[in-house]
């Protein structure tokens, strides 16, 4: 029965349900996407007040134009050796991903996640940060470790949870931890690394240290409470931290609109917290480098945190457990208007006269062989086929600095029972 108090001349209320532009089978056309001009966005002083930076979250910082030339005030003017190193690190990250993806398909590990198309967001940042700055990554930042020259064989052993795994099989594959590389343990719980990074940054400032922190989450994780708690603390205490949002357009099967992308940019969330916000072409490694360097200088100068949205595209599935053909058009990857980060940096180096197709092909071949050889060494220490690689006693270790009596007792009891059972 209708409510007699309800006005009869108003339309019924309706919910808006976000819907992506393209679904499987759709023709893809990004003609309406406004990339802006490379070099068109102004670069403010790193000490500028946050309330004077309100236009930046709505622009798109780009350095490389369509011909591969660096343009504008954000051009970091890196020398050719640094550019070649960045290209090599992105290519190595891609070769590593390909090898580990095939290993999962062969049943050598249970799970893997590629970062194809997103390599610039981690490699560019790693080159802009100091080596002892602390990184709090999500699960597609393997490029951070690779750019910091962490051994890929060690990463492979973690993926296989074999006898060479420093983490002793306690983390699911790809959730690396490398304290010596300033790489905090990856967690499967979304956005937890944000408050951890802010806490580290606050502690560093409280101690009068010089190390800053940087953290990464996907755009979907900005809907988590930890994201907002971290932004509040970062704002209130002006924590020396860089908060990166990797907007790759898709979660495992839902597009960025469900995290709020239809209403505004993710960089614009910085405005409500009174912190600096930048929106960057995430497939332009020079733009990523420049924005990260700006944010790092801002943090080191005690001018507060920066939220950086990296506008990029997840070219592959969310993980080896995902089939993106079920929810998005197969044409999207090839027609993405910001291109491929590896191809764009290659084009830039060629335009400078510092690279060519033959050298690039030779590099790819060399890296593929290197990854293959490291893979064989790691597989010799065990894969998923080989079962448990760590002693059972390790389940009682590494929790306390000194093992308490009751854990020693339980460990001894377990060993006695296994021996009695002939295991």
State how far the alpha carbon of 332 is from the alpha carbons of 24, 62, 245, 325, in Å: 10, 21, 21, 11
- CATH number of the domain residue 274 falls in: 3.40.50.970
CA angle 252, 129, 171 (to 5 degrees): 45
Distance CA 94, CA 183 (A): 19
Contact of 64 with 70, CB cutoff 8 Å: yes
Tokens of 29: 């056309």
In this structure, is residue 102 part of a structural domain?
A: yes
**Burial grade of 399 (CB within 10 A; 0-12, 13-18, 19 or more):** exposed
Distance CA 280, CA 192 (A): 23
- Write down the pLDDT at residue 402: 93
Percent of the chain residues past pLDDT 70, beyond the cut: 99
Tell me the pLDDT tens digit for each residue of 148-186: 999 999 999 999 999 999 999 999 999 999 999 999 999
User: Are β-strands 241-247 and 276-281 bridged in parallel, bridged antiparallel, or unpaired?
Assistant: unpaired
Q: In terms of domains, do 210 and 330 share one?
A: yes
The region, left, alpha or beta by phi > 0 then psi within -120 to 50, assigned to residue 33 is: beta
- Average pLDDT over every residue of 274-301: 98
Residue written as token pair 């971290």: 230
Question: Could you give the number of structural domains in the chain?
Answer: 2
Element holding 408 (H helix, E strand): helix 405-420
Q: In terms of domains, do 376 and 396 share one?
A: no
259 three-state secondary structure: helix
Residue written as token pair 């099989």: 169
Closest CA to 138 of 37, 41, 226, 14: 226
Q: In terms of domains, do 322 and 398 share one?
A: no
- Average pLDDT over every residue of 96-107: 98
Closest CA to 374 of 179, 105, 155: 155
- Write down the pLDDT at residue 3: 66
Q: In terms of domains, do 73 and 140 share one?
A: yes
Checking if the pLDDT of 356 tops 90, the result is yes
State how far the alpha carbon of 244 is from the alpha carbons of 33, 218, 247, 405, in Å: 22, 8, 9, 44
In this structure, is residue 21 part of a structural domain?
A: no
Q: In terms of domains, do 156 and 64 share one?
A: yes
Contact of 145 with 178, CB cutoff 8 Å: yes
In this structure, is residue 350 part of a structural domain?
A: yes
Tokens of 321: 């457990």
Strand partners, 277: 307
- Write down the pLDDT at residue 392: 86
At residue 95 the predicted structure's pLDDT band, cuts being 50, 70 and 90, is very high
- Average pLDDT over every residue of 341-363: 98
Output 389 or 59, whichever has higher pLDDT: 59
- Write down the pLDDT at residue 4: 66
In this structure, is residue 239 part of a structural domain?
A: yes
State how far the alpha carbon of 67 is from the alpha carbons of 99, 134, 287, 348, in Å: 31, 35, 15, 8
Q: In terms of domains, do 380 and 309 share one?
A: yes
pTM for this prediction = 0.95
State how far the alpha carbon of 385 is from the alpha carbons of 13, 104, 153, 164, 376, in Å: 56, 11, 18, 15, 14
Distance CA 142, CA 152 (A): 10
In this structure, is residue 63 part of a structural domain?
A: yes
DSSP 202-249: HHHHHTT----EEEEEEGGGGGSHHHHHHHHHHHHHT-SEEEEEEE-S
Q: Which domain holds residue 405?
A: 391-423
Q: In terms of domains, do 283 and 395 share one?
A: no
pLDDT, the chain, mean: 96
Strand partners, 246: 218, 310
Residue written as token pair 């090898």: 99
Q: Which of 134-148, 229-243, 325-339, 391-405 is predicted least confidently?
A: 391-405
Closest CA to 284 of 222, 347, 359: 347
Distance CA 318, CA 297 (A): 33
- Average pLDDT over every residue of 237-266: 95
Tell me the pLDDT tens digit for each residue of 1-36: 566 676 678 889 999 999 999 999 999 999 999 999
242 phi, psi to nearest 5 deg: -110, 120
Q: In terms of domains, do 136 and 152 share one?
A: yes
Tell me the Cα Rg of the chain. 24
At residue 414 the predicted structure's pLDDT band, cuts being 50, 70 and 90, is very high
Tell me the pLDDT tens digit for each residue of 194-248: 999 999 999 999 999 999 999 999 999 999 999 999 999 999 999 999 999 999 9
Contact of 316 with 114, CB cutoff 8 Å: yes
Q: In terms of domains, do 159 and 242 share one?
A: yes
- Write down the pLDDT at residue 8: 73
Distance CA 110, CA 401 (A): 31
Q: In terms of domains, do 79 and 132 share one?
A: yes
In this structure, is residue 415 part of a structural domain?
A: yes
The region, left, alpha or beta by phi > 0 then psi within -120 to 50, assigned to residue 260 is: left
Q: In terms of domains, do 126 and 198 share one?
A: yes
Q: In terms of domains, do 133 and 279 share one?
A: yes
In this structure, is residue 44 part of a structural domain?
A: no
In this structure, is residue 364 part of a structural domain?
A: yes
- Write down the pLDDT at residue 388: 85
């Amino acid at each position: 029965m209708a409510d007699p108090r309800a006005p009869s001349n108003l339309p019924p209320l309706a919910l808006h349900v976000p819907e992506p532009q393209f679904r499987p089978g759709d023709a893809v056309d990004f003609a309406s996407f406004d990339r802006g001009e490379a070099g068109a966005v102004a670069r403010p002083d790193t000490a500028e007040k946050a309330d004077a930076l309100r236009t930046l979250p709505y622009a798109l910082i780009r350095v490389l134009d369509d011909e591969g030339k660096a343009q504008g005030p954000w051009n970091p003017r890196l020398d050719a050796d640094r550019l070649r190193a960045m290209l090599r690190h992105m290519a190595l990250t891609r070769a590593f991903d390909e090898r580990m993806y095939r290993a999962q398909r062969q049943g050598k590990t249970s799970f893997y996640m590629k970062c194809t198309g997103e390599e610039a967001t981690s490699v560019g940042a790693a080159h802009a940060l100091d080596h002892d700055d602390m990184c709090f990554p999500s699960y597609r930042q393997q490029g951070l470790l690779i750019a910091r020259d962490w051994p890929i064989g060690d990463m492979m052993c973690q993926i296989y949870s074999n006898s060479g795994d420093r983490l002793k099989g306690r983390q699911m594959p790809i959730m690396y931890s490398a304290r010596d590389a300033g790489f905090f343990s990856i967690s499967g719980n979304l956005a937890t690394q944000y408050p951890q990074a802010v806490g580290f940054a606050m502690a560093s400032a409280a101690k009068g240290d010089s190390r800053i922190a940087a953290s990464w989450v996907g755009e979907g994780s900005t809907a988590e409470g930890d994201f907002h708690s971290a932004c509040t603390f970062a704002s209130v205490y002006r924590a020396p931290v860089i908060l990166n949002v990797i907007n790759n357009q898709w979660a495992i099967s839902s597009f960025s609109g469900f995290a709020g992308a239809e209403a505004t940019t993710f960089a614009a969330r910085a405005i409500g917290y009174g912190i600096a916000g930048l929106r960057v072409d995430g497939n332009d490694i020079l733009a990523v480098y420049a924005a990260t360097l700006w944010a790092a200088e801002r943090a080191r100068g005690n001018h507060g945190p920066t939220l950086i949205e990296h506008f990029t595209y997840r070219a592959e599935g969310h993980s080896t457990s995902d089939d993106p053909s079920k929810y998005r058009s197969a044409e999207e990857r090839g027609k993405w208007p910001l291109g491929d980060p590896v191809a764009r940096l290659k084009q830039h180096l060629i335009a400078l006269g510092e690279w060519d197709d033959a050298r690039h092909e030779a590099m790819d071949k060399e890296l593929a062989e290197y990854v293959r050889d490291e893979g064989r060494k790691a597989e010799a220490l065990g894969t998923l086929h080989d079962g448990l690689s760590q002693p059972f006693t390790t389940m009682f270790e590494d929790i306390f600095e000194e093992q308490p009596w009751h854990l020693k007792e339980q460990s001894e009891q377990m060993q006695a029972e296994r021996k009695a059972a002939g295991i």
